[in-house]
Amino acid sequence: MSKVKLSKGKHSLIKYLFLGFMVFGIGCISYAMFNIWSQSGYFIDASTSSGYHMPNTAKLPRNDTDKLQSESTHALQASNKNIYPEHPVEGENIGILIIPAINRKLPIIQGTSDKELKKGVGHFIQSVLPGENDNCVISGHRDTALRQINNLKIGDQLIVQTWSGTFTYEVNGTRIVHEDDKTVIVPMDHAVLTLTTCYPFNFIGNASDRFIVSAALVKSK
Amino acid sequence: MKKYSEIRFKPLFLTLLMVVMMAAPITTMAAQPTVNLGTTSTFAVLAGSTITNTGTTSISGSAGGNVDGNVGGDVGLFPGTAFDGKASVTITNGALHITDAIAIKAKDDLVTAYNDAAGRTPVTIIPSELGGTTLKPGTYASTDGTFGITGTLTLDAEGDPNGVFVFQMASTLTTASASKINLINSARFCRTFWQVGSSATLGTNSTFVGHILAMQSITATTGAVIQGQLLARNGAVTLDNNTIINGFCDISTVTPPVVVPPVVTTARLHVIKHVINDNGGKAVAANFKLHVKTLGKDISQSPAPGVESPGTSYTLAAGTYAISEDAFTGYTASYSGDSDVRGNITLAPGDNKTITITNNDNAVTPPIIPAPATIRVIKHVINDNGGKAVAANFKLHVKTLGKDISKSPAPGVESPGTTYTLAAGTYTISEDAFTGYTASYSGDSDVRGNITLAPGDNKTITITNNDIAIIPIISDNGGGTIPVVTTPEVLEGNVVTTTITGGQLPKTSTHLYEILLLGTILTLCGAIGLKTRKRYE
């Protein structure tokens, strides 16, 4: 009698173990799929998304060494570049990046750490803000925000809306570089938007290359 | 019919033949039976107190054969336990019995055998010097109770393989260097017994035959070859480069046993470790681990702790060896003696070489303690626009590698400020946000508050906070942190950055694909498991 019971108990234990596997597995898949979908920005209306607001001029600048460096080195020559009344702080929403070719509307967040990249695409702090007369670098996750970025063709438009205006860039080239490449984030003498993401796109783990999209400013209003 | 009778007769004939063959030795059997060794027969060496071996000794018995029990190459010890130099004893067809049940039983049997041999009669009294004589089976003793062999003793069994030779000694048995015992006409070592009342000594390179049953100790000096047993009741058995053959006692042996004297292929190496502590060092020789290596590998006795003179002796096969020691901080090692300066030595057969490794303690240089540096942080508050803050309202941080030092943060102090004693390095001085004041650095730091201290430096930094004329909007206090270098321009806006050169590309991989893959694998595992679970039940 006890033998029968034991085998019955064993039976259900194994069954529940496998069921647990399946439930956990499906949970993982759902979590990943939901994140990919939600962070891809297909339907995000950045103008109403949390965190995006017109700058409050009274807001105090943050204690951030990186920014400090940029600020102190550029306070003097800022006269012809002052499109932005205030420099955004890390984690602040700068505006929206619209990529019509792959149907994206992505919030642009100041900063490129994990926290910011979860919310949209990140603006590389040590680069100029969109629309300014230099190299503006924006990064995004290869598997969420900037997924399918490889479908961009030369001439495709990248539209950046910020509180200082709408800037339209046209893709003029893509390339793949190593993650330690130092020729991507460099100053330019004209307004350039550089999108960076990881490459290869479907790599499991930390991809060691970067996919770079360069676009030149064609229109600003 | 003829065939039938042939079949019947063949086994009959064979049986008859066997009976005749068996009868023959019985009929020609000597008057005295052999000494019954009992379980002692499985031993080649049996001692009471200790067994000590020097050099390479080989002990061998015979496998399988059981003619009269002498098959063992066993080495036994009871009641003692110390077997020195065991490592260089090679035992073939035998085992080690150190104070175990087998050794205890063998010792009991040895007493029986000893008493048997000592009680044998009739005794023939012969001169104590056996060298140069030929003896027939029988029991022998000398008037002074000793026997010695100088030269060759011949034992003649007169064709009877069971001829028993018993030698009774009230005191000692001593064989001279290079002495020999010759067995002729079916005499056998296993029928030869030496009952020694005190101790037996076998001479250098001598060849000895028979079972020595000694009351006290047995010493086999260098190179002695023994065919038989060394059985000491109470004392020690001392061995030195010996060959002991015990075991199969071949009935057909009519010629003297061919005992090959050991060809010396070994050499002796003495490694002396000498430690000189003339600078306050405390190490002793045993703290150093010495290696004797050949072909890059430690020999079996290596590594071993160092030993001051006379050092550690190794018996090694001829060849090239490297003597080394594990690194030991604070000592300088040097080689002297027969090796080269790096401790390499070549040993030829028969060599007897010595190496001394001398370790001299190094003069101790006092450890360099980096001189501490001091940094004085002065907080100066200027209230020329109606501000009310004082120095203590500002919280100052001294950070290194992004972390506050132990005494940081601390409230600001007007001149003379706060003095920190720090190790040399780079530090960043900053302060928590404070609304309505600009901050600026002066003194030894850069404009962002970074300062590099060399050992012994005494530097001063002043952080001056000036109240701002128009406080823009009173926001919640401490809503953020003020950058320590805040210029009025920053507060008024119009900040533009320029893109830096050679920025590090951000990491833009998420783990979502990994999670997706993991989920898929788990789901598949679960699904397959559920489907095939019958197999596990």
Domain contains A59 = no
Q: What is the mean pLDDT of chain B?
A: 80
pLDDT tens-digit readout, B257-279? 455 555 667 888 888 988 888 88
Dihedral sign (CA B383, B385, B387, B388): positive
User: Between residues 423 and 442 of chain B, which touch chain A (CB distance below 8 Å)?
Assistant: 430, 433, 435
Of the listed ranges B89-93, B112-116, B263-267, B340-344, the least confidently predicted one is B263-267
**Same domain as A164, residue A93:** yes
Cβ proximity of B537 and A14 under 8 Å: yes
Domain contains A172 = yes
Domain contains A173 = yes
pLDDT of residue B158: 86
Hey, what amino acid is at B302? S
User: Rounded to 10 degrees, what is the CA torsion of B203, B205, B210, B215?
Assistant: 30
pLDDT of residue B168: 93
- For residue A150, pLDDT over 80 is answered with yes
Nearest Cα residue in chain A from B489: A75
Cβ proximity of B247 and B72 under 8 Å: yes
**Same domain as A9, residue A113:** no
- How much is the average pLDDT of B421-438? 82
Q: Quick one: tokens of B499?
A: 């893109």
**Same domain as A99, residue A30:** no
Q: Quick one: tokens of B14?
A: 């064979």
Q: Quick one: tokens of B324?
A: 């080394």
**Same domain as A207, residue A185:** yes
**In this complex, which of A15, A64, A82 lies closest to B496 when CB atoms are compared?**
A82
Tell me how close the Cα of A128 comes to any Cα of chain B, in angstroms: 5
Nearest Cα residue in chain A from B537: A11
The CA distance from B446 to B462, in Å, is 11
Return the DSSP state at A151: G
- How much is the average pLDDT of B388-396? 83
**Same domain as A100, residue A164:** yes
pLDDT of residue B9: 63
pLDDT tens-digit readout, A99-112? 888 888 888 998 88
Interchain contact, A75 vs B495, CB within 8 Å: yes
- For residue B490, pLDDT over 50 is answered with no
User: Taking the mean position of all CA atoms in its chain, how far away is CA A14?
Assistant: 43
| Chain B residues with CB-CB distance to A146 below 8 A | 508
- For residue A64, pLDDT over 50 is answered with no
- How much is the average pLDDT of B309-326? 85
CB atoms closer than 10 angstroms to residue B42: 26
Nearest Cα residue in chain B from A187: B499
At B213, the pLDDT band (50, 70, 90 cuts) reads very high
Cβ proximity of A148 and A209 under 8 Å: no
The CA distance from B325 to B386, in Å, is 78
**Same domain as A103, residue A4:** no
Nearest Cα residue in chain A from B474: A58
pLDDT tens-digit readout, A5-47? 444 556 678 888 888 888 999 999 998 888 888 877 765 444 4
Interchain contact, B516 vs A20, CB within 8 Å: no
Helices assigned H by DSSP within B405-502: 488-492
User: Taking the mean position of all CA atoms in its chain, how far away is CA B145?
Assistant: 48
pLDDT of residue B497: 61
**Same domain as A153, residue A49:** yes
Domain contains A170 = yes
Put simply, whether B512 touches A (Cβ < 8 Å) is yes
pLDDT tens-digit readout, B132-142? 999 999 999 99
pLDDT of residue A143: 83
**Same domain as A47, residue A12:** no
Domain contains A100 = yes
Q: Name residue B82's beta-bridge partners.
A: B50
- For residue B361, pLDDT over 50 is answered with yes
Put simply, whether B525 touches A (Cβ < 8 Å) is yes
pLDDT of residue B99: 86
Residue numbers of the domain that contains A164:
42-53+86-221
Top-confidence residue, B482 or B328:
B328
Of the listed ranges A1-10, B135-144, B486-495, B511-520, the least confidently predicted one is B486-495
The CA distance from B82 to B334, in Å, is 35
- How much is the average pLDDT of B273-300? 85
- For residue A67, pLDDT over 50 is answered with no
**In this complex, which of A59, A70, A185 lies closest to B497 when CB atoms are compared?**
A70
Cis amide linkage into residue B11, ω under 30° from 0: no
Tally the domains of chain A: 2
**In this complex, which of B483, B508, B518 lies closest to A61 when CB atoms are compared?**
B483
Top-confidence residue, B341 or A193:
A193
**B440-476: burial string, b at 16+ Cβ within 10 Å, e else:** bbebbbeebbbbebeeebebbbbbbbbbbeebeeeee
Cα-based distances in Å from B72 to A49, B64, B104, B248, B326: 95, 10, 16, 9, 42
Percent residues over pLDDT 70 in chain B: 82
Tell me how close the Cα of A172 comes to any Cα of chain B, in angstroms: 19
The CA distance from B221 to A134, in Å, is 98
The CA distance from A85 to B273, in Å, is 81
Interchain contact, A185 vs B501, CB within 8 Å: yes
At B3, the pLDDT band (50, 70, 90 cuts) reads low
The CA distance from B143 to B153, in Å, is 18
Interchain contact, A71 vs B526, CB within 8 Å: no
Q: Quick one: tokens of A60?
A: 């105090």
Domain contains A167 = yes
pLDDT of residue B332: 84
- How much is the average pLDDT of A160-186? 87
- Tell me which long-range contacts B33-37 makes (C-beta under 8 A, separation of at least 24): B33/B164, B34/B68, B34/B162, B34/B164, B34/B190, B34/B191, B35/B113, B35/B116, B35/B117, B35/B120, B35/B164, B35/B166, B35/B193, B35/B211, B36/B112, B36/B113, B36/B116, B37/B69, B37/B70, B37/B109, B37/B110, B37/B113, B37/B211, B37/B229
- How much is the average pLDDT of B432-450? 82
Cα-based distances in Å from B429 to A64, B381, B401: 14, 16, 12
pLDDT tens-digit readout, B409-426? 888 888 888 888 888 888
Interchain contact, A60 vs B479, CB within 8 Å: yes
Highest-scoring range by mean pLDDT, A14-23, B140-149, B297-306: B140-149
**Same domain as A117, residue A159:** yes
User: Between residues 486 and 505 of chain B, which touch chain A (CB distance below 8 Å)?
Assistant: 486-487, 489-491, 493-505
Interchain contact, A139 vs B508, CB within 8 Å: yes
| Chain B residues with CB-CB distance to A188 below 8 A | 499
**Same domain as A28, residue A10:** yes
Interchain contact, A21 vs B512, CB within 8 Å: no
Q: Quick one: tokens of B61?
A: 């018995």
Interchain contact, A78 vs B495, CB within 8 Å: yes
Domain contains A76 = no
Nearest Cα residue in chain A from B534: A11
pLDDT of residue B494: 37
| Closest by Cα among B470, B505, B45 to B246 | B45
Put simply, whether B524 touches A (Cβ < 8 Å) is yes
**Probe site for chain A from B434, B448, B468, B497 (most A CB atoms < 10 A):** B497
Interchain contact, A186 vs B502, CB within 8 Å: yes
- How much is the average pLDDT of B300-313? 85
Interchain contact, B522 vs A10, CB within 8 Å: no
**In this complex, which of B486, B505, B509 lies closest to A181 when CB atoms are compared?**
B505
**In this complex, which of A27, A75, A185 lies closest to B500 when CB atoms are compared?**
A185
CB atoms closer than 10 angstroms to residue A4: 8
CATH of the domain at A145: 2.40.260.10
**Same domain as A47, residue A35:** no
Cβ proximity of B315 and B266 under 8 Å: yes
Cα-based distances in Å from B38 to B42, B76, B84, B106: 9, 14, 27, 7
Q: How does DSSP assign B350-419, residue by residue? A: T-EEEEEEEEEEPPPPPP-PPPPEEEEEEEEEE-SSS----GGGSEEEEEETTEE-TT-SEE---TT-EE
Taking the CA of residue B95 as centre, how many other CA atoms within 13 Å lie in the half-sphere pointing to its CB? 6
| Chain B residues with CB-CB distance to A13 below 8 A | none
pLDDT of residue A79: 32
Domain contains A122 = yes
* Angle between helix A2-39 and helix B512-531 axes, rounded to 10 deg: 150
Dihedral sign (CA B225, B229, B235, B237): positive
Cβ proximity of B168 and B141 under 8 Å: yes
ipTM of model: 0.71
pLDDT of residue A205: 78
Residue B518 burial (10 A CB sphere; 0-12, 13-18, 19+)? middle
Tell me how close the Cα of B518 comes to any Cα of chain A, in angstroms: 7
List, by residue number, the catalytic residues of A: 141, 198
| Chain B residues with CB-CB distance to A60 below 8 A | 433, 435, 475, 479-480, 482
- For residue B287, pLDDT over 70 is answered with yes
Top-confidence residue, A141 or B482:
A141
* Structural domains in chain B plus CATH codes: 38-245 (no CATH), 266-361 (2.60.40.10), 373-492 (2.60.40)
**Same domain as A32, residue A125:** no
